Amino acid sequence: MTVEMREGYEGTGTGAITPDGCAVEVYTRLPIGPEPDIIAAAVPAGAHILELGSGAGRMTHPLLERGFTVTAVDESADMLARVRGARTICGPIEQLDLGDEKFDVVMLASFLVHAGDEEVRRGLLRTCARHVAENGCVLIQREGADYHTDVPRERVDPAGFTVRIASVTPVADGVDSVHVEYDFPDGTWTQTFLARPLTKEQFESALEEAGLEVDEYLTPDGVWVRAVRVR
């Protein structure tokens, strides 16, 4: 199935590329960091998590291993085909409407809240608010403070690949085009995407617009946030 690329987003390298430029092959190879532990410490044991933008299940699988139930949403069927042990839903997050079905936890990770298009961001946050149970929470992963300024930068991963933020170029008011390269011994993949940096104030005001508010900044760098519906 051919899916249309989002404007300003591009990916190169072998295999399927998602509409936001992610290479499926890269996301099946990238190791997971401390994220599942951060999530597990922030939500009730055994919670049902609605994971928005799950990709190939890099976070889904460790969350299932920790005893959570996960419903994984992604607009890429190629990514979702790699997800095991979770219910999957294919489609744009901003259009997701599961009716009366609410979740203990709704998770919007991978910096998706920084979508270049503000309308898309509004849609993503409205989806979070629409699907969280009354006493549930929304977990959001934000960009770190220097993500757009400490450039170029690269990290050599012990697993044997290098990830490089090669350039960050302003392309419109408040929006940057970010170019990332992944060098593996057997190939190189790239992703170019649009990202809108958000100050803490801008982030909190975007939440408020969607009927959400910060409950707690979970990590000292402010990257992981637990939000709740405004009561």
Ligand X SMILES: C[S@@+](CC[C@H](N)C(=O)[O-])C[C@H]1O[C@@H](n2cnc3c(N)ncnc32)[C@H](O)[C@@H]1O
Binding positions for ligand X, rule: CB under 6 A:
18, 20, 22, 27, 53-55, 58-59, 74-76, 79, 92-94, 109-110, 112
For the bound state, the minimum distance from the C-beta of residue 100 to ligand X, rounded and expressed in Å, comes to 22
Cβ closest to ligand X, residue 88 vs residue 203? 88
Cβ closest to ligand X, residue 19 vs residue 211? 19
Q: Are the C-beta atoms of 1 and 77 separated by less than 8 Å?
A: yes
Round to whole Å and give the CA distance between 72 and 57.
8
Which sign, positive or negative, has the C-alpha torsion 147, 148, 153, 155? positive
Q: Tell me the one-letter amino acid at 66.
A: R
Cβ closest to ligand X, residue 183 vs residue 231? 183
Cβ closest to ligand X, residue 93 vs residue 218? 93
Q: Are the C-beta atoms of 81 and 57 separated by less than 8 Å?
A: no
For the bound state, the minimum distance from the C-beta of residue 112 to ligand X, rounded and expressed in Å, comes to 6
For the bound state, the minimum distance from the C-beta of residue 231 to ligand X, rounded and expressed in Å, comes to 27
Cβ closest to ligand X, residue 12 vs residue 135? 12
CB-CB neighbours of 218 under 10 Å: 18
41 burial via Cβ count (<10 Å: 0-12, 13-18, 19+) = exposed
Angle at 57 between CA 24 and CA 139, to 5 degrees: 120
Q: Which residue is nearest to ligand X (CB)?
A: 55
For the bound state, the minimum distance from the C-beta of residue 5 to ligand X, rounded and expressed in Å, comes to 11
For the bound state, the minimum distance from the C-beta of residue 178 to ligand X, rounded and expressed in Å, comes to 11
